[in-house]
Amino acid sequence: MAQIPVLDGESVLAAVDPAAAVDRVRLAFERFAAGEWVMPSKVYLDSPPNGDFRAMPARGEGFALLKWVTSFPGNSARGLPVVTGALLLSNAESGELVAIMDCAAVTSLRTGAAAALSAQVLATPGARSVGIIGCGVNGAWSARCLTACGYGPGVCADTRAEVATALAGELGWSAGSRVEAAAQDVVVTVTPGGVPVILESDLRSGQHIAALGADAKGKGEVELAAIERCRLFCDEWAQASAGGELSGGTAAGMVQRERVTQLGDVISGRTPGRGSDGEITLFDSTGLAIQDLGIATAVHEAWREGRVDADLVTL
């Protein structure tokens, strides 16, 4: 009977560094835009009042995966992770399960990588400084991936000052206020999405904003008046309009499909990206299973090549 590797968070992070994560996530967006990788919309299972579970399947590159993951925003106050669960990777030809992985580490890498990739694709060529608003788990990985792509230094802002100070210390950046972070060239928002953290008055010409925290219905980090001023991009329209940063504007009739470009369509050259240096670009990231597939296949590859260890189980 086949033995299946179980890769914990440490092994996942040892297998794929932030620069490799950005490359793998770029590939995922390319393949998805070309129709080579497929992905139904994620399924949400509410678990009130704590948050929700998500089931996220995708197939491509000879593999299929299912990620079973939480977003329990109140968990950090209880000393528990917001994002937790497991990822199953299968062989798409035989159907056999080939790996089980910690999904929090995969999620952090692919989420941070999407923020950095959006900056590479949409920010002005001269953009360097970074503002991180919300320096928890996924805010920190966004900062690490941006650093790996040559961005920074930056300003870290968080309502928990000690978290912002720790991330700034790790990267050699500075801790600052929300307004200071929102004034940088590339601004990444990764808060629970309960209150706006980008106001219209924060915006300045040529900025790129990656809004990551609002990844379910009812969440939002950017004021509608600010969204109105931006050139809009998303990871995938069906998800973004239903439960992403753009869903508020969509419900209000302010954001229509034709106003929003999917990142993969820009990467594949099908649709233009930023129109001018002065434009403010906003990327709505809801988090796609194809991003997880990009990372999970890289982790599996590292294990097969003996670069990382894993416990083996027989099911």
Ligand X SMILES: NC(=O)c1ccc[n+]([C@@H]2O[C@H](COP(=O)([O-])OP(=O)(O)OC[C@H]3O[C@@H](n4cnc5c(N)ncnc54)[C@H](O)[C@@H]3O)[C@@H](O)[C@H]2O)c1
In the complex, which residues of this chain contact ligand X (CB under 6 A)?
A: 71, 73, 76, 82-83, 107, 111, 133-139, 157-160, 163, 178, 190-193, 195, 197, 212-213, 215, 285-287
Q: Distance (Å, rounded) from C-alpha 113 to C-alpha 141?
A: 8
Which residue has the CB atom at the shortest distance from ligand X? 136
Residue with smaller CB distance to ligand X, 138 or 303:
138
Handedness of CA 272, 273, 277, 280 (dihedral sign): positive
CB of 315 to ligand X, least distance (A): 28
- 67 flagged as catalytic: yes
Q: Distance (Å, rounded) from C-alpha 119 to C-alpha 106?
A: 20
Tell me the chain's radius of gyration from C-alpha atoms: 18
CB of 90 to ligand X, least distance (A): 22
Strand 311-313's sheet: what is its strand order?
43-47, 51-60, 63-71, 85-91, 97-102, 4-7, 311-313
Residue with smaller CB distance to ligand X, 43 or 312:
43
Residue with smaller CB distance to ligand X, 83 or 101:
83
Residue with smaller CB distance to ligand X, 88 or 295:
295
Q: Is the peptide bond before 49 cis (omega within 30 degrees of 0)?
A: yes
Residue with smaller CB distance to ligand X, 100 or 104:
104
CB of 193 to ligand X, least distance (A): 5
Answer yes or no: are the C-beta atoms of 308 and 302 closer than 8 Å: yes
CB of 257 to ligand X, least distance (A): 20
Per the DSSP assignment, residues forming a β-bridge with 222 are 198
CB of 274 to ligand X, least distance (A): 21
What are the catalytic residues? 67
